[in-house]
Amino acid sequence: MPNPFEYGTAVTGDSFCNRRNEMRDLRSSIDSAERLFIFSERRMGKTSLILNLRESLDLAKYVVAYVDLFPTDSEETFAAALAKALATSVESRADRVLGVAKKLFSRFTPSLSVDEEGKPQLSLGLSPNMAVKESLEEVLAAPAKLAAESDRRIVIIFDEFQRIMEYDEGERVERTIRTMIQNQPGVEYIFLGSRKHLLEEMFMSRSRPLFRSAGHYPLGTIDVEHWRGFLGEKFASTHKKISAEMVDLICSYTEGHPSYTQQLCHAVWGLVDHRRAVTSLDVEKGVQLLLRRESYAYTILWESLPLNQRRLLRGLALEKSGVGAFTSGFMAKYGLASTSTLQRVLPALLSKDIIDRDVNKGKQRYYIVDRFFKVWIRKREESLALS
């Protein structure tokens, strides 16, 4: 029987856990033609959420263009990716896709091929002597044009949106986007990506063109009560059992993070025999299995970090969640000489995506992103204490 737990990729259908409140919020946002920037730490399930949202929409009433910007590297490839997503979302028939592309995008030369499943594969190249900036403006004007000519709502989803910051002309692209989308009734824009601190800089920094151009929607972990039902059903569907107590134990390691929870359950499921219930020993064996798999990578990472960065990570791994890193007690306990030392260490670890931060009631909380790296550090310290 196949393992029912999926991780490391976007999941839909029965593999997608809950997020009912988030789905409801996003549907409301779409119906109001708002703009949202969805931010969270990595692997929190943003893409899974969006793909499930897309599947829930009636395509007779909505045009949903999903634009993955990860493969793009310039203003031109950005425009081509958006144009392709728009054309293929408006029509599915191969003969009609090409017609839509020609109608909407005069500055691009479209060509069409068909894949093995008979689905149209559209390619768009910039026509000779066409200016890239004007071509981008044409593509960004297309959603409003579609909304005006159609009785369907237009939804544009940009994934890996922070990729724009890596373009040579990235700031100009941001300015163009801001100008073109600020007055487009009937069009909803959703921005998401996997580099939280970069997205926050784009939408929350006063110096950036997209400052306050979209509402902020933080995506957090999944509460343990939602995991109890989901994991219980998954184990039961494969003739194995898990109690609420064992689900709570799993979530004590993963902190309810979707990817890490599914990953640990994948390991635990493989250790439990047919028709047997999960025990705390199974959970601990699952954790140890994952730590052994990552031990080499974690060791290399740990040894590559300067001393003060390792000291901060020790503190974040060993103390309770929500501890204040800037308190005198924390700094003294973990050998961090001063506030200025922390002010150098924190940005370095943030830029490496090793730690992240939350702001609650004006207070910043720092935490280790990789939940199993946190466990590895904690167990390493426990081992050193016993030796």
Average pLDDT over residues 73-93: 89
Per-residue pLDDT tens for 163-196?
Answer: 999 999 999 999 999 999 988 988 999 999 888 8
Return the percentage of the chain with pLDDT > 70, whole number: 97
Task: Give the mean pLDDT of 8-33.
Answer: 88
The closest alpha carbon to 85, from 100, 106, 107, belongs to: 100
- Go through 58-90 and write b for each residue having 16 or more CB atoms within 10 A of its CB, e for each that does not: eeeebbbbbbebeebebbbbbbbbbbbbbbbbb
pLDDT at 14 over 90: no
Mean pLDDT of all residues belonging to the chain = 90
For the segment 284-306, the average pLDDT, to the nearest whole number, is 97
CB-CB contact of 17 with 258 (8 Å): yes
Residue 130 reports pLDDT greater than 70 = no
The neighbouring-strand residues paired with 123 are 111
Q: Which residue pairs from 366-370 have beta carbons closer than 8 angstroms and sit at least 24 positions apart in sequence? A: 366/316, 366/325, 367/316, 367/321, 368/313, 368/316, 368/317, 369/41, 369/42, 370/260
Helix (H) or strand (E) holding 301: helix 280-304
Say what the pLDDT of residue 207 is. 93
Pairing mode, strands 120-126 and 108-114? antiparallel
pLDDT for residue 283 is more than 70 = yes
Give me the mean pLDDT over the 43-52 stretch: 90
pTM for this entry: 0.86
The residue-averaged pLDDT of 354-376 equals: 87
Instruction: Name the token pair of 112.
Output: 């069409």
